[in-house]
Amino acid sequence: MWNERESPLRIEKRFEFEEYSKISKFIKKIEELCKEKDIYPNISFGKNFVSLTIFLDNKKISDNEKDFSKYIDNFYLED
């Protein structure tokens, strides 16, 4: 589940990985999706995680941002 935060308005999620090698594959899929959807989240990662933050321009999450987050969740579940 993506967490909604305020000041600034954003959604965030942390994805956990057992193997570091899966992180680069996951980020590559996100990169391709960013270009397709024209959404560019802040990404941070470490030895066993990737954290994403999407800053929202409007007062609520748009359909495009909802779709984007669902695609990312599906990428994560594939591995």
49 beta partners: 16
Residues with Cβ within 8 Å of 77's Cβ and at least 6 positions away in sequence, in order, are none
What's the total number of domains in the chain? 1
Question: Which pLDDT score is estimated for 61?
Answer: 86
9 in Cβ contact with 56 (< 8 Å): yes
Domain holding 11, by residue range, is: 3-78
Block mean pLDDT (10 aa), the chain, length 79? 92 96 94 95 96 89 92 89
pLDDT at 34: 96
What CATH code is carried by the domain that includes residue 10? 3.30.1360.20
For the four alpha carbons of 65, 78, 21 and 4, in that order, the dihedral sign comes to positive
The pair of structure tokens assigned to 19 is 């193997």
Enter the pTM of the model: 0.88
